[in-house]
Amino acid sequence: MTEHVTADASRAAWLRQARSHLRDADPVLARLVDDRPEFDPRAWMAQLPQMDLYGALLFQITGQQLSVPATRSTLSRIESLFGGHLPSPAELLEVDPGKLRKAGLSWRKIGTLRDLAERLSDGRLDQKTLQRMSDDELMTALTAIPGIGPWTVQGALIIALQREDVVLPGDLALRKAVQSAYRLDHLPAQDEVLEIAEKWRRYRSLATSYLFSAAFDPPHQAPAGPSEQRRD
């Protein structure tokens, strides 16, 4: 109980510091923060199944080029194949790929998931080692696998590892959110999103959550997370 209270207090202190930094660094973020005083940037993740790193990568790979509702529907069918939970690498390799195809995964995505599962099962990759890597090291290790690009890894960094300084410049939903919040007359390219996000550094994950919330949810509600045409 004491550890839980301590963790909550530490998280609250971190949020106060992060919000203060974003207010000072960017007037657009200052407005979004002030409009949402009770905003919980992790609330949307509570709607997801419990995930380790492999589960988060499975979630991201499933969601490539899909909306959040379509992704969740496919995930639900995948969970039903494994007794109501997302599969471990070993479990995924044991199932007939045709069943995954019927659950809604494309053959390309199935190939990517099996390739990743094989590397995690035969020792070429190790989840504990991956979790200790820096963001850049993890990006290099995982994008070496065909079918896994930066967007997939960036999402997994946020969902599974709770990394605090991640931005998803290739996410169409985020680009639209930036266009709306900054009142741009064009959809920003990835480089422009990254340039804007430089001022958020150390807290880019939180800034991203505020932008999603502003674009897709009324104030005081949890963000939906990346939602349209996820890309890699």
Q: Please list the ranges in the chain whose pLDDT falls under 50.
A: 2, 220-224, 227-229
What's 13-42+167-216's CATH class?
mainly alpha
Residue 13: what are its φ and ψ, rounded to 5°? -65, -40
Rounded distance, CA 15 to CA 2, Å?
20
CB 108 within 8 A of CB 147: yes
Return the structure tokens found at 220. Answer: 């005081």
Q: Is this structure's pTM higher than 0.85?
A: no
Q: Please state which CATH class domain 49-159 belongs to.
A: mainly alpha
- Intervals of CATH 1.10.1670.40 along the chain: 13-42+167-216
Report the Cα 16 to chain-centroid distance in Å: 22
Q: Which of 153, 152, 171, 184 is nearest to 212 (CA)?
A: 171
Report the C-alpha gap between 216 and 226 in whole angstroms.
10
Q: Which of 148, 134, 163, 158 is nearest to 212 (CA)?
A: 158
